[in-house]
Amino acid sequence: MITDPAIEQYMLSLLPERDAVLAEMEAYAAEHRVPIIGPAVATFLAALVKLTKPRRIFELGSAIGYSTIWLTRAAGPEAEVHYSDGSPDSARRARDYFERTGLAGQIRVHVGDALTALASTEGEYDLIFNDVDKEGYPAVLDAAPARLRRGGLFITDNTLWHGRVLDPKEEADFGVVEFNRRLFGHQGFFSAILPIRDGVSVAVKR
């Protein structure tokens, strides 16, 4: 935990209960060790979406679609949202959740490499959310800026990576450290990191 566990629990206690589908997804993720952003980060993302009103969103690394549902609901029925994940099993489960929440019609599902999926689409996005495997973070930073409109948001989860950014030892650790260094040195972005859950970076394209 990045924050004091008691503070983390206090923050979670303030959040309203999630609906049946989201609650089921949270339970499934906990039981099967599926990485999801969790309700605190999801609420923060939803607030950013409501503030900026993106109409095109691309999510890189979507797992079972928990964050996808939060982003889509916050963006509203006119938004176009792209889900991408390398696991066919996760994608099948995500499709079921999208159907059950009534959001399937506005979510485009891509199965396979997330950056390949991004490259297969055309045009600029208003928001790109990055949550791929951590060793792949630098490659995302190579690809994302060109696909984001000026003033758009580039949001990345796990940018404090369990505190391992302080003492990296594995490939994933070094991927996050390199990503953070390059993001904050990138002249095309104005960036910040918030220590929510595992760290979330928010970068605005200049």
Is the pTM for the entire model greater than 0.85?
A: yes
Helix, strand or coil, per DSSP, at residue 57: strand
Which residue type, as a one-letter code, is found at position 143?
A
Q: Residue 1 above 80 pLDDT?
A: no
- Exposed/middle/buried for 180, CB within 10 Å: 0-12, 13-18, 19+? buried
Determine the Cα–Cα distance for residues 3 and 8; give it in Å rounded to an integer: 6
Quick: pLDDT tens for 125-150. Answer: 999 999 999 999 999 999 999 999 99
Q: What is the pLDDT of residues 155-195, one digit of tens each?
A: 999 999 999 999 999 999 999 999 999 999 999 999 999 99
Longest dimension (CA), the chain: 45
Q: What is the pLDDT of residues 57-112, one digit of tens each?
A: 999 999 999 999 999 999 999 999 999 999 999 999 999 999 999 999 999 999 99
> What pLDDT does 2 receive?
85
Whether residue 168 contacts residue 180, with contact meaning beta carbons closer than 8 Å, is answered with no
pLDDT digits (tens, 9 = 90+) for 5-41: 999 999 999 999 999 999 999 999 999 999 999 999 9
Specify the pLDDT at position 3.
Answer: 86
Is the domain spanning 5-205 CATH 3.40.50.150? The answer is yes
Q: Which of 32, 29, 116, 12 is nearest to 65 (CA)?
A: 29
